[in-house]
């Protein structure tokens, strides 16, 4: 099934930051932690009329600037 993501930003969500954790083998790795608020799925259709789902997602504005959205 096709899924659409509506992405918007708001400063109330935390900014992305680097975070260290252990991988499955116990090695320390570093990656991005991006706080994200996601609304419940809503049924919709695509341009062909096929069933799809849409999710509304909110991130900190810095995420959009970094991704040049």
Phi/psi for 63 (5° steps) reads: -60, -45
Instruction: Check residue 69 and give its pLDDT.
Output: 58
Q: Which residues pair with 41 in a beta bridge?
A: none
Residue 57 is classified by DSSP as E
Name the pTM for this structure: 0.75
Interatomic CA distance for residues 29 and 26, integer angstroms: 9
Residue 34 is classified by DSSP as -
User: Tens digit of pLDDT for each residue in 27-69?
Assistant: 999 988 999 999 999 999 999 999 999 999 999 999 988 877 5
Interatomic CA distance for residues 63 and 57, integer angstroms: 12
């Amino acid at each position: 099934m096709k899924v659409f993501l509506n992405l918007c930003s708001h400063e109330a969500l935390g900014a992305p930051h680097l975070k260290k954790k252990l991988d499955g083998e116990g090695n320390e790795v570093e990656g991005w932690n991006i706080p994200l608020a996601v609304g419940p799925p809503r049924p919709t259709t695509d341009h062909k009329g096929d069933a799809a789902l849409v999710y509304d997602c909110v991130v900190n504005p810095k995420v959009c600037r970094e991704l040049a959205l």
